[in-house]
Structures are given as structure tokens and as C-alpha cells.
Amino acid sequence: MVDRYVPTHGNAGYKVESYDVELDYRVNSNRLSGKATITAFATQALSRFSFDLSGLRVSKVSVNGRRPQRYTQRSGKLYVTANIVDGAEFTVEIQYGGNPKPEDSPWGELGWEELTEGVIVASQPSGAATWFPCNDHPGDKAHYRITITTDSPYEVVANGRLVSRRVKASRTTWVFDQAAPMATYLATVQIGRYDAVDVATSPVTIRGVLPAGQLREFKADFGRQQDMMKLFSRLFGPYPFGGYTVVVTDDDLEIPLEAQGISVFGSNHLDGRRTSERLVAHELAHQWFGNSLTPSNWQHIWLNEGFACYAEWLWSEESRGLTADQQVSKAHSRLKSLPQDLLLSDPGPELMFDDRLYKRGAITLHVLRKHLGDDAFFDLLRTWTKNHRHGSVTTAEFTALATTFSPDEEALRHLFAAWLDSYELPPLPRKR
């Protein structure tokens, strides 16, 4: 299982069922000690297999409770020599440690990063291996249990339900359980001197975790999340996780980031004037598109970003800003003036986070909406999120489902060919 967009990550021969990651972290020294218990099943007979692990040193490995024949580390991989029969479930326990740091990538530094006071983990698309050994591929989703022990003044946020919080002397142990299948790039740990506040309990529990002294701005800038949640639940289907947490770091962040059940913003996204509200909507929408429905590989990233960008425009319309038609017209005019070298269905690693992909993906959805009509279009989206809830998806699966909602399959095929599979930006359909 290797993604051609990120060929140095991902590993063949097995699928992971669960990760049980136990971390001990010293904030002042940036020292991490970890133990990862990985349960997987072999998709072929194995004599050797590998995990992604970057910048941390392994001290002990066992396979099914026994020492393997051999293990080695090189070039961001942990190689384990052990015989596993085809179809067998096996468990690997790995002890490791060191001073974690982000990994350089074509998209910047990714993974575990020190803040002024704490930690941020931003892994998309290939930073998970900076803090735990894994099969770092978006299509290999698994159950997670994450335990973090750190200094008591710090608040910890990780994916899933907080199972327990135990204080012992000057240190606190936090245990989180993420039952819904999750891709490695969506796993996260956030550590900081934060205060936790309740934002809403209905229709979904929403929490904010932020530095003291920023509550007033937070309430203004994030105050309409409950309304966004209601809108998106109506248009996209039920919220796919048990709760939603927004973390605001004490440091500035260039862009916010999504994780499963969590979004992370920087203090620069707070100003008390809702300046970043479109980003608030964007990150929330990723809980459906990207986190519950995760691309099978990075070629299909428009299924994350195009949908989340379109959710921004739906919220704008709902909150009496620009209508979706106006947003589309504005974005289309800008795209026409830019290079026509992006293929939405296969943008390549260089352009997978290009803003043109976000905007063209959102425009494609609006054109599809005009073709199908509102009732059929939003029924399609709800069916899409229901059929693939907590799964992995491809562009072909989305277009195939869309044809079942169209009275004119031939016209729809031409629509997708023009918007997804052609470089040149098509003109917008004429208004009827």
C-alpha cells in the first residue's frame, strides 16, 4: 500500500486494525518516550514488513510476544524480519523515543512540532511517522487508543473520547479512545496551557480549548459553530463523530488544520470580528469530507478540499453573506486568469494543495447542483456520506453515485469529463 503522491510512505503486505500508542512527553526538554502496539492482518505471506517512523530511535520490538529475527531502521522506515502467514492477525509492540521534530516534505514541515508552550501535531499528508510507527497511508484506517502522560499544568487534546484523566504528583495521564476508523494523517496530539470551554451541547457537543484571556474573541469568532453544525447536518447528514473540539494555539498558524473530531487554529485567527469564519466552516465540513470519508489515496484530495470549500459558500449563503452563485462567479473569474495546468481528478503532488484545486472543486459541485437541482443534489451528498461513513472513497465512486441521481446520464458524463478530467477551465453553464 504505497501512494504515488507520497511514495516514501505507506507499506505493503498488511492492513492495520488498531494502534495503541502510549506516550510520555517532557515539555521543557521535548523528550518523547513511546510504546506502540499495532495489531494488523497480513494480506499476503510475509517474511519482512515495515512501518514508517521518522527521527525517533527504536529500542525494542516484539512480534506476537516474541523477539523478531531482526529489525533495522533506515530512511524513515522500521524494517522487521518475521514470518507471518497470509491472512493471519499479528501484533507488533515497538518501544521508541527521542526528541520529536517535524519532517521536511514538499509541502513544508509536517508532524510533531514544539510551540512556545506545548505541542502541535499537523500531519497531512505524511507527518504521522514523526511521533508513532505506522502505515502512513490515507487508505489504511484503524481504531486508535492514545495515552499521553505529561506535565500537569498542560491541557492535552487527542482524537476520540476522553476515557480517563489521572493526576499523579506533578504529571497527568490522559487516555483517549477513537473507535471510528481513522487515517494516520488525522491522528493528533495537542498540548498547551489551555482553558476548556463548552460551546454547545446540541445537536453535537462542541468544545473550545484555548489560551486564557482569549475567550471574548473566541466567543465572537466561533460563536456560530452551532448554527453551522445544524446546517451541515441537514445538508450532509448526521455529524459522524461523538463530539467536536476546536483548539486555538497560543502561537500563530499560517492555516488551520483538521484532525478527526478536532480542528486547530492559531491565535491569529481570533480578532473578535469573524474575519476567519469561512475557515471555521471549512474545517468543520472536513469532519464529513476528509475525516469520515477519507480519500483512498491522495489523487482524490478534491473530495476533501472541494467539498469543504463548497461548504464555506453554503454557510456564506445561509448567514446572509454572498450567495453560492456569487461565490462561484467570483472564484471562476479569478481561475480564468490563472494557468490552466491543473487536473482536478489527478492534480499530482505539486498541486494537491493548490488553491485552484479547492476553488475548482467547489465550482464543480455547484455546477453539479445546478444540473441535478437542489433536492437531488443534497440527497446525493447525504447518500454519499451515509454509504461511505468512516470509509475510504474515490472520485469514480462519487461520479458513479451521482449518475443514479441524474435524469440525463450522458450530460452528466460530459460535465464530469469537462470539470474533473480536463485541464482547461470550462465556462459556467448559462443561467436558465
Asked if 130 and 271 sit in the same domain, the reply is no
Whether the Cβ atoms of residue 22 and residue 34 lie closer than 8 Å to each other:
yes
Q: What range defines the domain where residue 345 resides? A: 295-420
- Asked whether residue 3 is assigned to any structural domain, the reply reads no
Of 286, 318, 341, which residue sits at a domain end?
286
Instruction: Return d(Cα 328, Cα 334) in angstroms, integer.
Output: 10
Whether residues 185 and 201 share a domain: the answer is no
**DSSP strand pairing (257-259 vs 155-158):** unpaired
Flag whether pLDDT at 354 surpasses 90: yes
- Cis peptide before 211, with omega less than 30 degrees from 0? no
**pLDDT tens-digit profile of 117-154?**
999 999 999 999 999 999 999 999 999 999 999 999 99
**How much is the pTM?**
0.97
Contact assessment for residue 118 and residue 91, using Cβ atoms and an 8 Å cutoff = no
156 lies in the same domain as 51 = yes
Amino acid occupying residue 186: L
CA–CA gap between residue 240 and residue 419 (Å, rounded): 29
Domain count, the chain: 3
**78 and 223 part of one domain:** no
Cis peptide before 125 (omega within 30 of 0): yes
Residue with cell 494543495: 353
> H helices of 237-373, where?
277-285, 302-318, 324-336, 355-372
**Strand (E) or helix (H) holding 163:** strand 161-168
The whole-chain average pLDDT of the chain stands at: 97
Distance, CA of 230 to CA of 127 (rounded, Å): 32
Distance, in Å, from the CA atom of 112 to the CA atom of 99, rounded to the nearest integer, reads 10
Claim to verify: residue 29 and residue 161 sit in the same structural domain? yes
pLDDT tens digits along 247-280: 999 999 999 999 999 999 999 999 999 999 999 9
Of 189, 210, 233, which residue constitutes the final position of a domain? 189
Look at residue 427 and tell me if it is in a domain. Answer: no
Higher-pLDDT residue of 87, 213 = 87
- Tell me: pLDDT of 368 over 70: yes
Question: What's the pLDDT score for residue 431?
Answer: 72
Q: What backbone phi and psi angles, to 5 degrees, belong to 166? A: -120, 130
DSSP state of 364: H
The pLDDT score that the predictor gives to residue 432 is 61
Distance set, CA 170 to CA 26, 30, 145, 166, 380 (Å): 11, 17, 23, 11, 52
Residues above pLDDT 70, as percent of the chain: 100
What is the mean predicted confidence (pLDDT) over 182-206? 96
Nearest to 280 by CA among 259, 261, 265, 292: 265
Q: What is the pLDDT of residue 430?
A: 81
Supply the CATH number for residue 100's domain. 2.60.40.1730
Q: For residues 167 and 154, give the distance between their C-alpha atoms in angstroms, rounded to a whole number.
A: 12
Q: Widest CA span of the chain, in angstroms?
A: 70
Question: Residues 268, 299: one domain?
Answer: no
Residues with Cβ within 8 Å of 272's Cβ and at least 6 positions away in sequence, in order, are: 216, 217, 220, 221
Judge contact between 386 and 327, C-beta under 8 A.
Answer: no
Question: What DSSP state is assigned to residue 186?
Answer: G
Tell me the percentage of the chain whose pLDDT exceeds 90.
Answer: 98
pLDDT tops 90 at residue 2: no
State whether 211 and 172 are in the same domain: no
Q: Per the structure block, which three cell numbers stand in for 32?
A: 518523547
Residue 1, domain member (yes or no): no
Q: Which amino acid is at 339?
A: P
Assess if residue 2 is contained within a domain.
no
Domain shared by 144 and 27, yes or no: yes
Residue 178 and residue 198 in one domain:
no
221 sits in which H/E element: helix 215-221
Residues 35 and 131 in one domain: yes
Whether 31 and 180 map to the same domain: the answer is yes
- Tens digits of per-residue pLDDT, 17-49? 999 999 999 999 999 999 999 999 999 999 999
